[in-house]
Homo-oligomer: A and B are copies of this chain.
Amino acid sequence: MDQQTSATLRADARRNREQIIEAARTMFLRKGPDVPMDEIARAAGVGVGTLYRRFPDRSELIKAVSQDNLRRMAELAGRLERDEPDPAVALDALLHAIRDLYLGIVMTSVSAVAVQAIKDNPVIQEQRDELLGVVSRLLRRCQEQGSIRPDIDGGDLLLMLAAVSRLVPAADDDLGEMAFHRLFALMMDAFRPERASPLPGRPVDYQDVEHLRQHGGLAGFGRIAPNDP
């Protein structure tokens, strides 16, 4: 059912499908995972009927958004690692892409439905591993060259991104846009190595993040779909 997605679809239908995913990506970030379907449809400029025709239920939509996010990121990550010799520049570019696309890293790494969607699809799963792998390697190289503090791991980065991502700006608010960019930049400075003060606890890795997701250890984490186990 998901295969003829882009193939046998009429032009307007394909356009609408993309608009829906785009709108859902932002709305999930802005209002949370149980934002009403009507609102998503309105934001996408289509009727609810169209939304339901393309995505029979909420979890299908979440799956689609997650996979789309992941595909974009994996693509970019691969390209950057291949073409950009300086890991600091590459990591910077990757994080900026997350910001500019409101990519909701939370969703692709953290939602149970999204995780299920990923497991269901070997290609996507490979993309996920690839993406996390690239981030890990870039991070390590940055730490080796001294451009990122040594006392953090990928999970720390992920959690910080998740926190800041929650404050995605409204579409038409310049001040919000400015504040969001600024907050993001401020966050990135937190990872710089100069005179880093000792952090409590220990570096948080991807496995920790997975544990937090599964056990609801942090509010706003996991349970991206209302009826997640």
A contacts, CB < 8 Å to B: 29-32, 152, 155-156, 159-160, 162-164, 166-170, 173, 175-176, 178-183, 185-197, 199-202, 204, 208, 211-212, 215-221
Copies of this chain, whole number: 2
Q: Could you give 23 example pairs across A and B, Cβ below 8 Å?
A: A29-B219, A32-B32, A152-B186, A155-B179, A156-B186, A160-B183, A160-B187, A162-B167, A163-B166, A163-B167, A166-B166, A166-B220, A167-B221, A168-B218, A173-B212, A173-B218, A175-B212, A178-B204, A179-B208, A182-B200, A186-B190, A189-B197, A195-B195
With A and B bound together, what is the CA distance between A175 and B30 in angstroms?
A: 27
Given contacts A185-B197, A187-B190, contact A218 B176 (CB under 8 A): yes
With A and B bound together, what is the CA distance between A51 and B148 in angstroms?
A: 49
A168 contact set on B, CB distance < 8 A: 218-219
A199 contact set on B, CB distance < 8 A: 182, 185-186, 189
The reply to whether B219 and A179 form a contact with Cβ atoms under 8 Å apart is no
